[in-house]
A and B are shown apart, each in its own frame.
Chain A
Amino acid sequence: MAVDKSQVDYVAKLARLEFSEEEKEKFVGDFNKILQFVEKLNEIDTENVEISISSYPMFNALREDEVKPSLSLDEVLLNAPDKENGYFRVPKVVD
C-alpha cells in the first residue's frame, strides 16, 4: 500500500493537524518508507491466529459502585485556557 498526498490530507483532517505543502511532501516520503517496512508483516500467515490485546491473560478489573470525592472546582479549572462561571469556554460549537 502506498500513500499519496490526498490521503495525507485526509488523515491530517482526522487527526486535527495541519501541514505546509513541503511538510506534506515529506510525509508522503516518510510514510511510504515506514509502510514499506511495516509491510514485512505480510510475510507471515496469520489466517488462524487470534489477536492478543494484552500480553498475558488479564480480565475483570472492576471497582465497586462507590462515590468518592471529586476534585474541587478550582482544581478542575486549574489549567483551563479559557473559563467562565465555572465552565470551560470554547468558540461556539455548531452541530
Chain B
Amino acid sequence: MHYLSAHEIRDLIRKKEVTAEEVTIKTLERIKEVDDKVNAYLEVFEDAVDSAKEIDKKIAQGEDIKDLAGIPMAIKDNICMKGRKTTCASKILENFVSPYDATVVERLKENGAVIVGRLNMDEFAMGSSTENSAFKKTKNPYDLERVPGGSSGGSAAAVAAGEAYYTLGSDTGGSIRQPASLCGVVGFKPTYGRVSRYGLVAFASSLDQIGPFTRDVEDAALVLNAICGKDSKDSTSADVNVEDFTTYLNKSLKGVKVGLPKEYFGEGIDDGVKKELEKAIALLKDLGVEIKEISLPMSQYALAVYYILSSSEASSNLARFDGIRYGVRAKDFEDVVDLYVKSRSQGFGNEVKRRIMLGTYALSSGYYDAYYKKALKVKTLIINEFKKAFEDVNLIISPTSPSVAFKFGEKADDPLKMYLSDICTVPVNIAGLPAVSIPAGLSDNLPVGLQIIGNYFKEGEIISLAHGIEKALSLNLRPNL
C-alpha cells in the first residue's frame, strides 16, 4: 500500500475500502519502519491521525470530499505551519515555532490533506545533496551510501521510500527537480508566481517556487490543482486562471513539437544519463511527437547569473535571522553588534555563510553594477532566448541532472563542483518557467530524470507530455529497502 499513488488511495477511500485513519496509521508505521535508514523526516506528527479522523467523519456524514482529502503527505521544513516548528534545517531556527500558516498549508488543509511531518533539506535550501542539513543526513532510498539530491532531499526520499503519498518542496535552482531525478520520483516546479510563496522561508525571492513530489504525473496534476492560484498575500503571485490540470492527462501527443537543446546534452552529462533519455525520446517519436534540435547558448551563463542573484537575495533575506525576535540567540556577547555576530556565526552552517558572504560582496558598494546589475541584464537575455525557442517548439526536453545520485562527501568540499549539479535546472528558474522531472530509467541501478520545460503557465502541456512518456515507459520504479 505504501507504493500506491495518491489518486489510487483517493479511490480506495472513496470506495470506503479503506479509511483515512487506516491510511495515516499505515503511513506512520511505514515511517517508523524505514526512516531510521532514510532519515527523510525531521519531525513526524503523531497527531496527524486526528485530522484523518475528521475526514472520515465527513465521509461518514456523506459530505463531498476533495481529491487529496485524507491522504498523508509531508512538507519541506521551510514552509510555515501554525503551531509547528519551521527550522529550515538550521540551528538558528532550531526552536522556531510559526504563529501562522503558509498559504500552501492553508490550501492543503482546505483540501483535507493529512500532514504527517516536516522533511529534511539543505540548510535554508542551499545545496544539492541535503548534506548541508544541520540535523541529519537523508539517504537515497536506492542506495543508502548516496545522497538523495537537494535541497528538497527529504521531500524526494520520503516519496521514493513510501513514507508519504506526496510531499511539497521548494525549487530555487533545481531543488525539486534534481532530488526527484536522483530519487526516481516526479518533481514539478510550476511557473514562478503560480504557487504562493507566502509562508515559504525565502532563500532567493525572485527564484523560489513551491511544488510537489509525487509517484506519478496524475498525482502531480492533483496537487497542482490544490496549491496553484493567485494569493493576495504574495505580490509576486500571478493572477492567471488555474485550469483543472487532470484534463491534460491522456492527451494525444501527435504534432507536439519538442526541442532538444544541444547545450544540455553536451559535455558534462554522464553517458548513462544520455542513454536513458535517448530511449525515452525514441518512444516519443512513435507517439507522433516532432523532435527538433534547438540551441540555447545563453543557458551556459545561467549558473553564474544564478549564483549572483540567489546569493545576493539570500544575503538580504537571511539578515532577519539575528537572535532578536526569534531563533537562537548566542549565550555570550558583549553588546548588540556582538549578539548579531555570535548568534549568526554560531547559528548558520558553512554553505549558508559562504552564500551570505558572496551575496553581501556582490551587492556592496562599488560592485553592484559589475555583479548584480550585470546578472539582471543577462537574465533578460536568457529569458528572451527561451521566449524565442518557444516560438518554434511547445516544450523542451533535457536531462534533469548531469549525473545519477553521487556518494556522500563526493562533492561536499568543492562548492563549484556541487553547483554544477544544477546546470540543467538553473536556467529554468532564471527564466521563471515551469518544468518537471520524471523518471526516465535506471543507470547502474540508480534513477535517471528527464526534464520537460514548458512556456509560462503551460503546466498543462507539460503534464500531457510527461503523462505520455510515463505511460510509454511504464517503469514503476521502486527502491529495495
Contact = CB atoms under 8 A, between A and B. Distances in A.
Would A and B touch once assembled, by the CB under 8 A criterion? yes
Interface of A: 1, 3, 7-8, 10-12, 14-19, 27, 30-31, 33-34, 37-38, 40-44, 46, 49-56, 58, 61, 63, 71, 75-76, 78-82, 88, 90-93
Interface string B349-374: 00001101110110010010011011
Nearest to B387: A56
B327 interface: yes
Contacts of B456: 55-56
A90 B97 contact: no
Contact of A52 (B307, B364, B383): B383
Contacts of B430: 55
A49 B409 CA distance: 41
Nearest to B303: A37
Contacts of A46: 374, 377-378, 381
A81 B301 contact: no
A11 B361 contact: yes
B360 A37 contact: no
Given A11-B357, A12-B357, A41-B375, A81 B326 contact: yes
Nearest to B350: A23
B345 A91 contact: no
B301 A40 contact: yes
Interface in B217-274: 232, 235-238
A75 B193 CA distance: 29
A64 to B, nearest CB: 10
A82 to B, nearest CB: 7
B287 interface: no
B378 A34 contact: no
B232 A63 contact: yes
Given A12-B357, A44-B301, A34 B307 contact: yes
Contacts of A76: 99
Contacts of A79: 95-97, 325-327
Given A17-B341, A80-B325, A41 B304 contact: yes
A73 to B, nearest CB: 11
B308 interface: yes
Interface in B173-229: 192-193, 206
Given A37-B416, A41-B374, 13 more contacts: A31-B357, A38-B304, A40-B301, A43-B301, A44-B381, A46-B377, A46-B381, A49-B377, A75-B99, A79-B325, A81-B324, A88-B325, A90-B336
